[in-house]
């Protein structure tokens, strides 16, 4: 992307976290994707839109295992003070044991690195008019980490902790860029029952939808939250200075060959419903003369490990 779009500045701010500081042409981007780069005079004239595009934050609230009981018990509003406290004396040893127990590959983003990353984003693009987050807000092996550190958890405690973690990350983004809409998608890790597992029309989606809708333009929050309840997808008209632009956020987890329900079963109906919804959104945007952005987590295209269903599977789902 940086090679074909010189107006994009690519930064790796945390392990696995990617941030693009971009300058966009608000009215022409959908038809001329390189408008800001091709027409620097327009950008200089104030007709461009600074923005941030972030992905795979993978925030890890388990980095200091001794703090986890306090995080479980506390409301999200108290998390920053808990996480900012000095590390426990045995943090390195306790975290190393957790990493080994959960067969973790690498280290995800602890609180100090999250704050450092946000400061770097603010420095690079202080006047960002909006932020996109294309999924995976929470750490890898989240289920194992929680089960290891909270062995006596009651049913529903895991889902509640996931929602609190999503809420904390979104709050941190909004606090760093007050007034800027934060458009976020779910990633395969961002579920209430495990990696690549999700139930459509679930309580988790209703709760996560309320968290994500809070950062949207006020006029679109209620509709986005209502749509999110079904599959974790939503559509919203992007706030000014973007003009006549609709952002369709699709939860493409249902398109992955790794996807199952929380019970470990496939759900073709969820995929079919999501494709029908996407088709309706595109038709409505066309009728309204809107430009469309589509954002999801799992990138389509050729990748080494197959993650997408066959074209026949998608075709079958679209007919249902």
Q: Say how many Å lie between the first and final Cα of the chain, rounded.
A: 36
* Triad 114, 179, 164: Cα angle to 5°: 45
pTM above 0.75, yes or no: yes
pLDDT in tens, the chain (320 residues): 333 333 444 444 555 556 666 666 555 444 433 333 334 334 344 578 999 999 999 999 999 999 999 999 999 999 999 999 999 999 999 999 999 999 998 999 999 999 999 999 999 999 999 999 999 999 999 999 999 999 999 989 999 999 999 999 999 999 999 999 999 999 999 999 999 999 999 999 999 999 999 989 999 999 999 999 999 999 999 999 999 999 999 999 999 989 999 999 999 999 999 999 999 999 999 999 999 999 999 987 655 555 545 544 444 444 44
Cβ neighbours for 164, distance < 8 A, ≥ 6 positions apart: 71, 76, 79
Please choose, from the candidates 86, 188, 203, the residue with its C-alpha nearest in 3D space to the C-alpha of residue 143.
188
Give how far Cα 24 sits from Cα of 9, 74, 178, 279, Å. Answer: 12, 40, 20, 26
């Amino acid at each position: 992307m940086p090679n074909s779009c010189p107006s994009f500045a690519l930064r790796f701010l945390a392990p696995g976290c990617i941030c693009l500081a971009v300058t966009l042409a608000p009215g022409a981007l959908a038809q001329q994707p390189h408008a800001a780069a091709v027409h620097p005079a327009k950008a200089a004239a104030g007709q461009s839109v600074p923005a941030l595009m972030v992905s795979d934050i993978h925030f890890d609230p388990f980095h200091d295992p001794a703090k986890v009981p306090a995080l479980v018990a506390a409301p999200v509003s108290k998390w920053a003070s808990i996480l900012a406290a000095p590390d426990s004396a045995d943090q390195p040893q306790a975290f190393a044991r957790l990493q080994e127990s959960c067969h973790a590959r690498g280290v995800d983003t602890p609180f100090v690195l999250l704050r450092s990353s946000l400061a770097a984003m603010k420095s690079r693009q202080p006047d960002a008019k909006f932020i996109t987050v294309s999924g995976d807000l929470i750490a890898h092996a989240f289920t194992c980490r929680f089960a290891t550190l909270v062995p006596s958890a009651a049913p529903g405690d895991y889902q509640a902790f996931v929602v609190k973690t999503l809420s904390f990350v979104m709050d941190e983004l909004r606090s760093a860029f007050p007034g800027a809409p934060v458009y976020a998608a779910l990633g395969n890790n961002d579920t209430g029952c495990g990696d690549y597992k999700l139930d459509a029309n679930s309580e988790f989606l209703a709760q996560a939808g309320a968290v994500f809708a809070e950062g949207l333009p006020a006029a679109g929050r209620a509709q986005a939250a209502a749509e999110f309840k079904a599959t974790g997808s939503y559509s919203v008209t992007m706030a000014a200075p973007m003009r006549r632009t609709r952002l369709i956020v699709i939860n493409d987890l249902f398109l992955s060959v790794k996807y199952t329900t929380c019970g470990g079963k496939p759900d073709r109906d969820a995929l079919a419903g999501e494709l029908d919804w996407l088709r309706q959104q595109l038709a409505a945007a066309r009728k309204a003369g809107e430009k469309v952005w589509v954002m999801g987590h799992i990138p389509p295209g050729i990748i080494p490990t197959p993650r997408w269903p066959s074209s026949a599977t998608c075709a079958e789902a679209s007919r249902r």
